[in-house]
Amino acid sequence: MPSTAELVAFADRLAEASGAAIAPHFRRIAAIDNKLSEGFDPVTVADRAAETAIRALIETTYPDHGILGEEHGNVRLDADDVWVLDPIDGTRAFICGLPTWGTLIGLKHQGVPVFGVMDQPHVGERFYGDREKAWWRHRDGAAIPLRTRPCERLEDAIFCTTHPGLFTGAQREAYEEIEGRVRTARFGTDCYGYAMVAAGQADLVIETGLQPYDIVALAPIVEGAGGIITTWTGGSPADGGHIIASGDPRLHEEMLTRLAGVSG
């Protein structure tokens, strides 16, 4: 596996390439495709162009590495090192012209998410993590360490999720109980919710039905900042699914207890 310094330099190249591919289309999208026959899962030319740009650099620089991407399929998933890509996490925000989306670039080594970057090219900020540390940069500025904040009590927590409508049945009941107790809740945060937990601005993210490309890049950022990120049953987030990210381990333990038995 490349060193952290090599990964950072390469991830910066990937983020610059994806940002350049996305920029001409933000707030100028003329066509939106729907990937579902029922429901709505939008994809745009910007999603596809950004992933194409990232994949081309990976294939040239690390041709033996695998790639798991949202838009253009998977190759060499049995490799020790697999890049996991979501060119625009938060496409709904993107098509609304809102800047609460990001490009997710993650690396799994032997199945474990070990490095991740969340890039927001429109506002010019980039979040990094390697499980042991996490940091933030604006444009070409100095790196600023990220650290989660203490929050033991659910009643004191700032809580983020994509949308309450994604929770159904027993999940919805558990979600509503949690939302009813937190200090405040914010919706539509997508990848930004996890970045804000790492930055000590929020305390808790709970999501359901995630894909690997939604979470692999974010897990090392949350963990590197001192947070905890698992499935609702306490397992690895590497394969997606139902996810909890907490800034405080004590809060995380409470969430695992509250969500036990409702992960189906």
Give the distance, in angstroms, between the CA of residue 2 and the centroid of all CA atoms in the same chain. Answer: 22
* pTM for the model: 0.94
CB within 8 Å of 140: residues ≥ 6 apart: none
CB within 8 Å of 245: residues ≥ 6 apart: 193, 194, 197, 204, 205, 218, 222, 227, 228, 229
**CA–CA distances in Å: residue 211 to residues 57, 69, 220, 224:** 23, 10, 16, 21
**How does residue 70 score in pLDDT terms, banded at 50, 70 and 90?**
confident
Task: Please report the DSSP string for 153-183 in residue order.
Answer: -GGG-EEEES-GGG--HHHHHHHHHHHHHSS
Q: Residue 29's closest CA among 7, 16, 44, 43?
A: 44
pLDDT surpassing 60 at residue 36: no
Q: What is the CA radius of gyration of the chain?
A: 17
Mean pLDDT computed over 86-99: 91
Collapse the DSSP code of 238 into the 3-class scheme (helix H, G, I; strand E, B; otherwise coil) and give the result: coil
pLDDT in tens, 135-183: 999 987 889 999 999 999 999 999 999 988 888 899 999 999 999 999 9
What integer pLDDT is reported at residue 139 of this predicted model? 80
Residue 130, amino acid: D
**How does residue 30 score in pLDDT terms, banded at 50, 70 and 90?**
low
Q: Residue 199's closest CA among 171, 169, 221, 232?
A: 221
- Please identify which residue in the block is written with the tokens 């090392």: 220
- Please identify which residue in the block is written with the tokens 């729907």: 34
- β-partners of residue 115 are 107
Residue 60, amino acid: T
**Euclidean distance between CA atoms 192 and 162, whole angstroms:** 10
pLDDT surpassing 90 at residue 86: yes
Question: Contact, 117 vs 128, CB < 8 A?
Answer: yes
Give the domains, in start order, of the chain with CATH numbers.
4-145 (3.30.540.10), 154-259 (3.40.190.80)
